Amino acid sequence: MTAGAGEAGELGRALPVVPPGERGATRIADRVVAKIASQAAREAVGAPAKDAARPYADVVVAHETARVRVHLELDYPTDIGARCAAVRRHVVERVGALVGMEVPEVAVHVERLHPAPGQGAAHGRTR
């Protein structure tokens, strides 16, 4: 059993109480935040097309703030703007909840569009 702050130690001496601001800090690596953002984008996009790549993210962290760039592929036809907005909201929410960082910017890059099931070559090409 270990003694907490302000409790008696093994020799009966009181342990020093260190104020929270002086205890140190936890640094979360950029790649960890990027993995969380990638997973959040996957959750927001839903089930991808068979040949779609998984969403991935690039993150820059500075002063407890994360700027995120998400790369993903979407089914088409779809409301691309609405889908990107949903990804932005979900990434901001999940990174904030899991890491405690503010996310003022989420750039969504749609790398490729995939025909939705039943929208293959029979419907012609979309230009």
Distance, CA of 44 to CA of 42 (rounded, Å): 5
**Tokens at 19, concatenated:** 């104020």
Per-residue pLDDT, 13: 76
List pLDDT tens digits, range 109-123: 999 999 877 765 555
Distance, CA of 92 to CA of 111 (rounded, Å): 21
List pLDDT tens digits, range 51-107: 889 999 999 999 889 999 999 999 989 999 999 999 999 999 999 999 999 999 999
E runs forming strands in the chain = 56-62, 65-76, 102-115
CATH class in words for 26-123: alpha beta
List pLDDT tens digits, range 17-56: 888 777 777 788 999 999 999 999 999 998 877 888 999 9
Distance, CA of 20 to CA of 31 (rounded, Å): 27
